Amino acid sequence: MNFLTKYLSWIAGGLALALALTFALPSGKVRGFDASGFGTLPILEGGRVKPLDSVARNSLLVIHSRQGFRHAGHNVGPDEWLLDVLFRPQVADQQPIFVIDDLDVLGLIGAKQTTARNYFSFSELGPHLDEIQKQAATAQPIAPQKRTRFQSSVINLFERVFLYYKLRNTLQLAGSPGLAWELQSLGSKDANLRHQDLVQLAHFRILPPTAGAPPEAWQSVGQALTTANMGGPLHPGLTPLAKMNAAYLSNDPAGFNQALADMNGLVNTLKPDALGHSGREVVFNRSQPFFVGMIIFLASFMAACISWVYKPEVLRPTAYALLFSGAIVHTLGLAARIILQGRPPVTNLYSSAVFVGWGVVILGLLVEKMYRKGFGTAMASIFGFASLIVAQHLGEAGDTMEMMRAVLDSNFWLATHVVTITIGYSGTFLAGAIAIAYGVRKHIVAVQDIETDRVLADMAYGIICFALFFSFVGTVLGGIWADQSWGRFWGWDPKENGALLIVLWNAIILHARWAGYVRERGTMVMAIFGNVITALSWFGVNMLGVGLHSYGFMDQAFWALTGFCASQLLLMAVTYAPPRFWLPRNDSHA
Amino acid sequence: MIKPLALQTWKFLKSIQLTIVLLALLMALVVLCTLAQVEMGTAGAVNAYMRSFIVWRQFAALPFPIPVFPGAALVGLLLTINLTGKTLELKRTWAKSGLWLIHAGLVVLFAGEFVAGMLQVDTNMSIEVGQTVNYVQSYKNMELAVIDVTDPTWDEVYSIPDTELSRGGAIPIPGTPLTMNVKKYFANAELSNLPAGQTSMATAGVGPSVLVVEQPTVTADGEMNQASAFVEPTAAGRSYGVWLASAAIGAPQSFTHEGHTYLLTMRLRRLYLPYAFTLKQFRHDVYPGTDIPKNFSSLVQVVNPSQKESREVLIYMNQPLRYEGKTFYQASFGKNDTLSVLSVVENPGWLLPYVSCVLVSIGLLVHFAIVLRRSLKRRQDQKEA
């Protein structure tokens, strides 16, 4: 017992890291087939070379909102699912993976919503495809922010169905006898038409550029078949692919694994780096560092909360150790993304959420080291957790390592402007979080503790100064980038305005404090409002759909954002109210 | 009597209360301007809230607009005075050197935005591959161009800006015997076929068969005002009829006076340059297998006879050409990637934000270093005590 209390923090931290490690381990074979080996095959999609595993995970996230599902008594992983879609669509078509939540869309396909019936298979949607397509085509021309809920949902469903449809017609035409048959019937009557369909529908290009071709000239199966059909050379990758296809259909794991090895050998000769790069990305995909980090942060937060009422001398270091482990996992994930992408950490809305969370966690670790009250740990862990949840939702839109649009394609400015401004967000959020802790604590604790209040106020003040510095420098750097690429330092673009609002608000807090208009409590209330302003300028401006920064458009987060802002306003009121204001006054004349 | 009042005012102007109020007003303006962009477009909202001293609002019940809010120009001006006052008040000691730098940098930043608001000229240049262009054109402002095309190798262009057209009346065109009588000017109008039985003001050109209906002017991004005017060219006491010139009419109309042929056309205002650009190549690269743009670039031949200069320049994303006080940026493209649009900005104060950034950053670092040193020293003293 004594040993446990002494080393609990080390044990907890170690266990958390061990948990992270188990995620990184490769899974076994599926029915003898080397599915994860198949997932490591590099392909070209969305402008970059990535493993099939990434295609599988991102497609499943888009279609199903999760990276795996349970069907017919066993768990189907992303690689196994993709194998079925590509090579055995007749099996994949029966799996209920399409999530439909919108009642009107459910009405459209004639299903009554019951608790268990939100998932549909492709074959169940089959009879309604024409109607879905028709409705989506009507809604498509309407600007995204003007669509009704039904229109957005039906377009969303159509896009998911179309993605699935493209996948099942990428390596072979669904319903045809397979790729081997396609190779045998080269030159036959309808071959050309089928090849054109394959070219049109291909979701990715799996055949690496042949010797002598330009380095980016990856080919889809349809393109290679077209070349061969017109008398050109047969791409050497088609044969192993056809063998894999046939072996998978006839349930011959040994043959499949052999053909996969042949394909790997071919990729290695044609594109020597591609296999190593995609292998690293697969390890990153499997590890899911931000998901694991989320779990560890939650554990840390719970330990920190319990520590205020039970055994603080043991649980507070434990919470800190967990936060530290979570920070290690989070940092490794961030570093892996930087290496895989060859870009600074923030490239889109998803990665900004990951980075803001990371910034808060690191700041929290430092603050805790300085003040040792448990608040730094608790607030950093809950904010780390929340930001990773936000990131997870943002990541459901597809590939989070998408290519950068031309105007953003500047590693220098991404590394300076975007990173500094995002650290400014982190600082403002952490100050707000500490202010919330201050406000809530005031009402909960039995004895008012002026010392702790003062420490919290000091923390918040220091962090606001820090946040003002980074948001100001980040905003000005953004202006300079704008001057470099658009010709004006400042254009009052919504995102620029959002950044400016954060700067102005932090400046107002500090000036009000310096002039003595607000004291401890007032500063804290203002710091919480900083959360509202930061959230609005981070996500809110994207919902306006105007300006040069509106590439990060999103529509579904509106209510989440409104809820967050309302909760912050409530917390401001709570913080402003004097402690125990609900108790009858002692001096009342009863 | 005057002196105490002035002192009072000065005290108020440099007070920190005013700082906070002004910062709060600025926040409110930024929020309003951002929201207004959805309806008014960026340029419209910025002009209404940011580049104005007073925000005016037209209420349906009143015949005239009334002031509803101070504009950002006013707030910015007061903030600059406030900042300057505060800065002058700071003790000139090393301990305050960081604050000095910060405030001086902010004053420069505001000055930069003022200069941009007052003096910045935004135009653009559209060039097709192989074409040579020696002018930039406005985004919104129009002009009535009268072009003497008699000499097949040389066009002599005379133009009347829309501001002058809107005043109406007789406008003599210098360098020619012509005088233009502006009968009616529409800042924005819709043109359609004239229904039978109605008559037009126009008597010559395409005008007599066109119905012109005045429209409210638009400011939103991507929308264009179709400026139109009924004009009557006269020379040596002779009228050449009333013509309809409109931005909505594509083909130019012409008349001849004493052997000179003049084209009449309403177009975006042009500013001729003493040099010319020839577009040699335009590239629009995408990532393989996608439509995601990877790069846009224009290879331009710059020919400047006055400098005896002729050289090639590659203008691409984040890499503009700064030339003769103007900066040319790759902005847009069209016509199946054979047309390149460069946005052209002339802002004499473009360096000010850079200066400000350096001043404020150094100031913040110095100030935080001083504060940190002080607090470390205090801790040390506490330990020793």
Closest partner residue to B353 (CB to CB) among A46, A480, A493 is: A480
Q: Taking CA A276 as the corner, what is the angle to CA A266 and CA A338, rounded to the nearest 5 degrees?
A: 145
ipTM for the complex shown: 0.80
Gap between the Cα atoms of B209 and B200, Å rounded: 7
Report chain B residues whose CB lies below 8 A from the CB of A484: 318-320
Closest to A530 in 3D by CA, of A438, A424, A394: A424
Q: What is the pLDDT of residue A548?
A: 44
pLDDT range class, residue A398, cuts 50, 70, 90: confident
Q: What is the pLDDT of residue A584?
A: 58
Which of the 8 DSSP states describes residue B103? H
Closest partner residue to A469 (CB to CB) among B17, B116, B364 is: B364
Query: Per the CB < 8 Å rule, is A469 touching B288?
Result: no
Gap between the Cα atoms of A2 and A57, Å rounded: 46
pLDDT above 70 as % of chain A: 94
Residues of B (317-356) whose Cβ lies below 8 Å from A: 317-320, 327, 329, 331, 343-345, 347, 350, 353-354, 356
B205 in contact with A, Cβ within 8 Å: no
pLDDT at A116 over 80: no
Query: Per the CB < 8 Å rule, is B317 touching A409?
Result: yes
Query: Per the CB < 8 Å rule, is A487 touching B327?
Result: yes
The per-residue pLDDT for range A478-503, each reduced to its tens digit, is 888 888 777 778 878 888 888 999 99
Closest partner residue to A44 (CB to CB) among B19, B112, B288 is: B288
Beta-bridge partner residues of B185: B229
Tell me the nearest-neighbour CA distance from A86 into chain B, angstroms: 19
Task: Please state the separation of Cα B124 from the chain's center in Å.
Answer: 10
Identify the residue among A459, A469, A483 best suited for mutation to test binding to B, counting B beta carbons within 10 A and taking the highest: A483
Name the residue with tokens 């959805």: B38
Residue A192 makes CB contacts below 8 A (sequence gap 6+) with: A226, A229
How deeply is A171 buried, as exposed, middle or buried, from its count of CB atoms within 10 A (0-12, 13-18, 19+)? buried
Which of the 8 DSSP states describes residue A379? H
Closest to A260 in 3D by CA, of A85, A51, A39: A39
Q: What is the pLDDT of residue B221?
A: 65
Gap between the Cα atoms of A413 and B306, Å rounded: 37
Beta-bridge partner residues of B277: B133, B302
The number of C-beta contacts closer than 8 angstroms across A and B is 154
Quickly count: other Cβ atoms within 10 Å of residue A522's Cβ: 15
The per-residue pLDDT for range A24-70, each reduced to its tens digit, is 888 777 788 888 888 899 999 888 889 999 999 999 988 888 888 88
Report chain B residues whose CB lies below 8 A from the CB of A486: 329, 331, 343
Q: Which two tokens stand for residue A367?
A: 């603050």
Report chain B residues whose CB lies below 8 A from the CB of A491: 42, 46
Q: pTM for the complete prediction?
A: 0.81
Q: Which two tokens stand for residue A482?
A: 């704008």
Residue A30 makes CB contacts below 8 A (sequence gap 6+) with: A77, A79, A80, A83
Gap between the Cα atoms of A442 and A449, Å rounded: 9
pLDDT range class, residue A456, cuts 50, 70, 90: confident
Quickly count: other Cβ atoms within 10 Å of residue B127's Cβ: 21
Tell me the nearest-neighbour CA distance from B205 into chain A, angstroms: 39
Report chain A residues whose CB lies below 8 A from the CB of B31: 497, 501
The per-residue pLDDT for range A153-192, each reduced to its tens digit, is 888 888 899 999 999 999 888 888 888 888 888 878 788 8
Q: At what angle do helices A520-535 and A450-485 cross, to 10 degrees?
A: 30
Higher pLDDT, A442 or A111: A442
Paired sense of beta strands B243-246 and B253-257, if any: unpaired
pLDDT range class, residue A331, cuts 50, 70, 90: very high
Closest partner residue to B287 (CB to CB) among A47, A485, A517 is: A47
Q: Average pLDDT over chain A, rounded to whole?
A: 85
Beta-bridge partner residues of B126: B341
The per-residue pLDDT for range A68-99, each reduced to its tens digit, is 888 878 888 888 899 999 988 888 888 888 88
Name the residue with tokens 């052209």: B344
Q: Which residue of A has its CA nearest to B354?
A: A480
The per-residue pLDDT for range A241-296, each reduced to its tens digit, is 889 998 988 888 888 899 899 998 888 888 888 888 888 999 998 888 999 999 99
Q: What is the pLDDT of residue B1?
A: 61
Query: Per the CB < 8 Å rule, is A47 touching B288?
Result: yes
CA trace torsion A460, A476, A495, B24 (10° rounding): 60
Q: Which residue of A has its CA nearest to B289?
A: A47
pLDDT range class, residue A555, cuts 50, 70, 90: low
Report chain B residues whose CB lies below 8 A from the CB of A479: 353, 357
Gap between the Cα atoms of A376 and A360, Å rounded: 10
B170 in contact with A, Cβ within 8 Å: no
B37 in contact with A, Cβ within 8 Å: yes
Closest partner residue to B317 (CB to CB) among A204, A469, A485 is: A485
Closest partner residue to B26 (CB to CB) among A204, A484, A504 is: A504
Q: Taking CA A544 as the corner, what is the angle to CA A543 and CA A549, rounded to the nearest 5 degrees?
A: 85
Gap between the Cα atoms of B310 and B302, Å rounded: 5
Task: For B83, list phi and psi in degrees, rounded to 5.
Answer: -65, -45
Identify the residue among B89, B287, B360 best suited for mutation to test binding to A, counting A beta carbons within 10 A and taking the highest: B287
Q: For each of chain B's 385 residues, which pLDDT tens digit applies? A: 677 888 888 888 888 888 899 999 999 999 888 888 877 777 788 888 888 888 888 777 778 888 888 888 899 899 989 888 887 877 778 888 888 888 889 889 888 888 888 888 888 899 999 999 999 998 888 899 888 888 888 888 888 988 888 888 888 888 888 898 998 899 898 888 888 888 888 888 888 888 888 888 887 666 788 889 999 998 888 888 899 988 888 777 888 888 888 888 999 999 899 999 999 999 888 887 777 788 888 999 999 988 888 999 999 887 888 888 888 988 888 888 888 999 898 888 888 888 988 898 889 888 888 888 887 888 788 777 6
